[in-house]
A and B are shown apart, each in its own frame.
Chain A
Amino acid sequence: MPELERELRGLGESLAFPPTPDLAAGVRTRLPERAPTLWARRLVLVAAVLGAALVAGLAVPQARSAILRVFGIGAIHVEYVDKLPGVEPGVPLDLGREISADEAPFRVLESPLLGSPDGLYASGNVVTQLYGTPEHVRLLVTQIGGRALRPEVVKKVVGTTTNTDFVAIAGIAEQALWIEGAPHVLSLPNAPERLAANTLIWTQGNKTMRLEGAESLDEAVAIAQSFE
């Protein structure tokens, strides 16, 4: 080992860190009652919720209902409506073309917490990281690059039975939007409208980020904070 490395190792051995406090007991008392959510169990849940919503979706008239409120976060445009538009059930997920990281139109942010995605897709300026398979999605992270996009590039239509909350996330300058509860309708350019599960939307640098499929706001925030 070269001299400097040997000296550094020796220095490391002789350093006095503050003593490690006993964290175990304190952490244990703060653990949530329920077991951590395992993907397999959660998927069944999401599928069940989606199934129910599809039935409800078919029952509403096709005509678009009154728009109650509209606003945008980054490149995403959110509309509140009193009734969701009907959405074709069983539309296959269309994320665009599968690409390698080098082919992405911008530097795609990554989350060490999530690790490498199982698939990377692009459609224009919209890049999606897929966890799971297109048939069995565990989690989707969509990144929309650039500020020059038309604001309606991605549209989300939210019914009155879906909860939306603006949330502040440490380390993220602008407010984020959390959409939870009954599925909402997502409309991406060049893809059919589809129903979407719990979603967090935030902006990071000049990108608009969208995370779909987190179990809870806590989990979504932890994931959002991990992107770099």
Chain B
Amino acid sequence: MGRPLEESELVARAQRGDAAAYEELVEMHQGIAFRTAYLIVGSAEDAEEVAADAFLKAYRALGRFRRGKPFRPWLLTIVANEARNRRRGAARRQALALRVADQSRPGDAAPSPEAAAIGAERRSRLLEAVDRLPDDQRLVVECRFFLELDEAETAAVLRVRRGTAKSRLSRALDRLREEVLDDA
């Protein structure tokens, strides 16, 4: 059995119309696509539709994708765009149904030092504070810390330049610091 195909090879094949190659790309990226959509639209059902539609749009636009560039930021731009279109007109999306999971789910690896360092109650409070941020600041925090996107990917989701994403993050962190650290 050969080793899994490189992403760039999968993209090249999909550009030639190889549906199986594209299906593999979808499998590789559906997790991050779904979670990104979820953070923007706020419902799992909508996020599923948004992510599926975004993958179809990305396929049709694949001819414009420059080979050798990373696929993920480009895809996330399309996902975020689709999610925003879905949300447009609606009021602010409902508070996320994200929950702080039980610390010791069976079968899980031991929590990392970071996760173990803070208690569940404090985490819940921090999550609420993130959710109270203005939309653009909330999303930048969620992208960086909940989705673990890098700077370029975060900027792609926010549709801003990297510098703008950085300064937005720093404003958001200032605000969170005031809200949660002072009363710690």
Contact = CB atoms under 8 A, between A and B. Distances in A.
B15, B122, B159, B177 — most chain A CB neighbours (10 Å): B159
Interface string B66-87: 0000000000011001001100
A27 B25 CA distance: 11
The bracket for how many chain A residues form the interface is: 35 or more
Contacts, number: 162
Interface in B115-162: 115-118, 120, 122-123, 126-127, 130, 141, 144-148, 156, 159
B9 interface: no
A90 interface: no
Contacts of A69: none
Interface of A: 3-18, 20-28, 30-32, 34-39, 42, 112-114, 170-171, 216, 218-219, 222, 225-226, 228
A36 B101 contact: no
B31 A20 contact: yes
Nearest to B99: A16
Contact of A113 (B51, B56, B61, B141): B61
Interface residues of B, number: 69
Chain B residues touching A, majority SS? helix
A222 B59 CA distance: 12
A202 B96 CA distance: 34
B49 to A, nearest CB: 10
A14 B63 contact: no
Nearest to A3: B181
Interface of B: 14-17, 19-20, 22-24, 26-27, 30-31, 33-35, 38, 44, 47-48, 51-52, 55-57, 59-64, 77-78, 81, 84-85, 88, 97-101, 103, 111-112, 114-118, 120, 122-123, 126-127, 130, 141, 144-148, 156, 159, 173, 176-177, 180-181
Given A7-B117, A28-B19, A35-B16, 10 more contacts: A8-B141, A13-B111, A13-B112, A23-B30, A23-B48, A27-B56, A27-B59, A30-B52, A36-B63, A39-B63
A3 to B, nearest CB: 7
A112 B156 CA distance: 7
Contacts of B126: 7-8, 11
